[in-house]
Structures are given as C-alpha cells and as structure tokens.
Structure 1
Amino acid sequence: MTTTPDDLAALLASVESDERDLVLSTFTHDDAWRLGCLLVELADERDLPVTIDVRKGPQQVFHAAREGTTPDNDSWVQRKVRVVERFGASSYLVGLRARAKGTTFADQHQLPLQEYAAHGGAFPVRVEGVGIVGVVTVSGLAQGDDHALVTEALRSFLGR
C-alpha cells in the first residue's frame, strides 16, 4: 500500500499528538508493572503474538513474550528502545520523520541496523515536569499496530 504525502502528514501529526498527550504524573516500578500487565491483557484478549517490555530508566521492570514470538522479537525491542533513548521520541515517529523528508532512518542517521530500528512500537514514558523516564515497547505486529497497542494501553492507563 502506498502512502500519499497527505496520508503521511496526517499520520505524523497523529503520532506527534500521541507524544504530547500521553504524559503521566508519576511513573514508579509498580506503574511499569501495571502498564506491562495491561498490555498483556490486551494481547491475551486479541490473541496477539507480541513481546512486551517496560523500562524505568535503564532498568527493565517488565518483560513478557506471548506464544508465537521468537528471540528475534527481543532483538527488535532492544533496537526500538535504543531509538527512543537516542532521539527522545517514539521509534515510529523517528521513522516517520525520516520518510517525511524523503529518506530512510538508515540513510539519514547512518546508524547500524543491528542496533537501531526506527519502526513503530517503542514509546517514551514521559512524566510531567520531568521528561522521559522510561520506555514501553511492543514487538510482533506491523509497526503501526505495535504503536497503536502501546498508545491504547497508555490511554487506558491514564483513564482516557
């Protein structure tokens, strides 16, 4: 499926809006655990083959791999997390921004593909007045679906 420039611009605006809107007041280890469990519940309900990872700072607080995933999903999680940590934005947004400029993440940044993946699924955990304090990641679906599952869980977690 081909994405038109208007479609890409609308998608970019939507993902940027997610990043502005999905901000927490606090983020504890218990919050990380609850967010991970919420993602597992959503994946269970839909029988989704995903790996779920939640980090607070550099510490992995929650990790689960559902049936149908492989160790490769863990590699994707790591690579997406590195994008969030380096660029301070969701892995999906970083990749979309490159596409909007008519290039690819790989060509734009010249980073090793074995270490960085600007594909949807890793989302920065932001706390009001603090900034990014962690990363929540899903791997196993199409990149837009990985991103959508994470943002759905964050909205639910925030009570929206």
Structure 2
Amino acid sequence: MTAHDAWPTLDELERQEADVVLPELTEQVAYNLGRAAVDAAWPDALPIVVGIWRGDHQLFHCALPGSTADNDEWLRRKGRVVRRFERSSLYMGQVCRDAGTTLQAKFLLPESEYAAHGGAVPLRVASAGVVGWMGVSGLPQRDDHAFVIRILREHLASRS
C-alpha cells in the first residue's frame, strides 16, 4: 500500500472539516460552491453529481455527463450519514473501519438508506454549527471527499 492509498486518520479528517467552516450558507453561497464544483469537474470530464443542502432543502444539484441516477442515490445515502452524525461520510466510514465493523452493524442503520463512503461533507457555519452538507458522487470515495474539501477550501480562500 502506498501513502496515496492510505486511508486518512480521524484526526486528519477532523482537521479538514475544521478548515472549511463557512461564514454563512445562503442560496448565493450554495450556487457559488456548486458552480465552482461543476467548473472544476468539467475540464476533466469527471462523471459526478454535485449536491448542496441546507437542512431538508436542496439548494444546488448538477449531474455531469457520465453520471447516473445511481450517483444521485449514493449522494443521498452519504448525505444522510452527515445529517445524522454531523461528520463527513468518510469520517464515519473511517470510524467503522477503525473498529472493524460497518455503519450498519455499529449503529443499526439500513444500508439502503445510509452509506459511510466518502463524498459528503458537513457545511458548518461559524455562528450556527452544521446547517447542511455538500457532496459529490461518481469518483472513488476518497477522491469524492477530497474534491469537496478542495472546493470548500478554494471558496474560503477566494473570500479573503
């Protein structure tokens, strides 16, 4: 296993989440984030779906060429993990890998509704905590996660 193949530690994932706290999550912010994700994915023809939610309200969705309705379902399943645990779906998957179990076994959650696979990241607002989530589906799970973190970091850097 190479370093690139290594799973991130829980500490690394916690730091990533702490690095992407937003000042606010408005419809305009969601649009800007979603558009940035689509713009970043398009040149490389990444076959992903992008989604952003605030609570139960989906503020952004885009399906790029090569993605399917199955990616939408994976995205919803990963998002349910974020909503339930207020942690990234990759973080919760790592909690389970570290414990030698699965999300379904550890928390008695149906696999048909919850997927502890990377790609959904909580959207924390400095003054309010977790208010939503952003996710992508269509790449290997660590790549899905890294893509979302990259877009959030770039968004925050552009505001300074």
State whether TM-score is above 0.5. yes
Aligned equivalents of 1:50, 1:121: Cα separation in 2: 10
Matches within 5 A, 1:5-154: 7-8=6-7, 10-154=8-152
Following TM superposition, the consecutive aligned residue runs of length 4 or more in structure 1 with deviations greater than 3 angstroms are: none
In 2, the alpha carbon distance for the partners of 1:62 and 1:28 equals 11
Shift of 1:104: 1.7
Structure 1 unaligned regions, length at least 5 = none
Identical pairs, percent: 45
**Given the alignment of the two structures, is residue 157 of structure 1 paired with residue 160 of structure 2, yes or no?**
no
Q: Find the aligned partners of 2:128 and 2:70 in 1 and give their Cα distance.
A: 33
Provide the secondary structure at the position in 2 that maps to 1:126.
Answer: strand
Structure 2 contact 19–153 (Cα < 8 Å) conserved: no
Amino acid across the alignment from 2:19: D
SS in 1 for 2:134: strand
Question: In 2, distance between residues paired with 1:157 and 1:49?
Answer: 22
Pick which of 85-94 and 98-107 moved more: 98-107
Tell me the alpha carbon deviations over residues 94-135 of structure 1, each in whole angstroms, 9 at most, x when there is no partner. 110111112122221121111000100010000002101111
**Distance apart, 1:12 and its partner CA:** 2.4
What is the SS of the residue equivalent to 1:145?
Answer: helix
1:117 is matched by which residue type in structure 2? A
* Unpaired runs of at least 5, structure 2: none
1:111 maps to amino acid: L
Compute the TM-score of the two structures, normalised by the length of structure 2. Answer: 0.92
